[in-house]
Structure 1
């Protein structure tokens, strides 16, 4: 179950991504995915840029996002989210981030075995999506 810190970090990440990359990507929260029968709802998805179409909605997306971002909640374990990240890669996601609010860290995975860890005082770099984010604002 998401907590207050989870929600604040989720909002801050969405704001930072929209601010810096709105012309390149669309950023979606709580998007229902059905990837070849595996259902998941990442906290945030980064998808190719698309326009909002109020007359047509998609309840469940069947294509993998470019990036799935998960924020650990007090009721989750790190191992649980690492296993989830591995599944995202199996189904075609190109990049996966795992945020740990209590440590003010974000892990950026470019494959299940290749990741970098960024602290709140650093600038996150996702080489797969060519994204750079100063994390100071995300964790404040």
Structure 2
């Protein structure tokens, strides 16, 4: 596993900040998901809002997030991420986003065969009901 780059960590913060209204989601950074006995660590995972039990922590989550966000790192390929998206979507995660820093692009994938990309304006995820302004994310 490679460690996140400078831009990668900045964008993870920006995304969480811009999408967190404090009401709708619990947002987790680099949580370990157990999917069919394999560990996956998405950059950001959104769960339905619920009370956090600080007394009883979990090392891995078997619970399905609603949304996964991956930020492309300098040494990753898009194919590596889309392979993970196939697994996530088959697992029952409703939406996957790929953030591509060099091109300032957000690709939303609710269906692996029909991703939608945004490089300006508002990226809208109709399935999850969230949106993000591209210019705000990449400022």
TM-score (normalizing by structure 1)? 0.93
Where structure 1 has 5 or more consecutive residues not aligned to the other structure, the ranges are: none
CA RMSD of aligned residues (A): 1.1
Structure 2: tracts of 5 or more residues without a match: none
How far 1:52 sits from its partner (Å)?
A: 2.3
TM-superposed deviation, 1:115: 1.5
Q: How many pairs align?
A: 137
Say if 1:35 and 1:64, in contact at 8 Å, map to a contact too. Answer: no
Q: Secondary structure at the match of 2:59?
A: coil
1:26-62 superposed Cα distances (whole Å, 9 cap, x missing partner)? 1110010001212100000011101222212111001
Matched residue, 1:13: 15
Alignment of 1:131 with 2:130, yes or no, is yes
Task: Report the counterpart of residue 82 of structure 2 in structure 1.
Answer: 82
In structure 2, C-alpha distance between the alignment counterparts of 1:108 and 1:28, rounded to whole Å: 19
Whether the 8 Å contact between 2:28 and 2:46 is mirrored in structure 1 is yes
Q: TM-score, normalised by structure 2?
A: 0.94
Q: Is the 2:47–2:66 Cα contact (8 Å) retained in structure 1?
A: yes
> SS at the partner of 2:132?
strand
Secondary structure class of the residue paired with 1:26: strand
Question: For 2:115 and 2:52, how far apart are their aligned partners in 1?
Answer: 32
Moved beyond 4 Å, runs of 4+: none
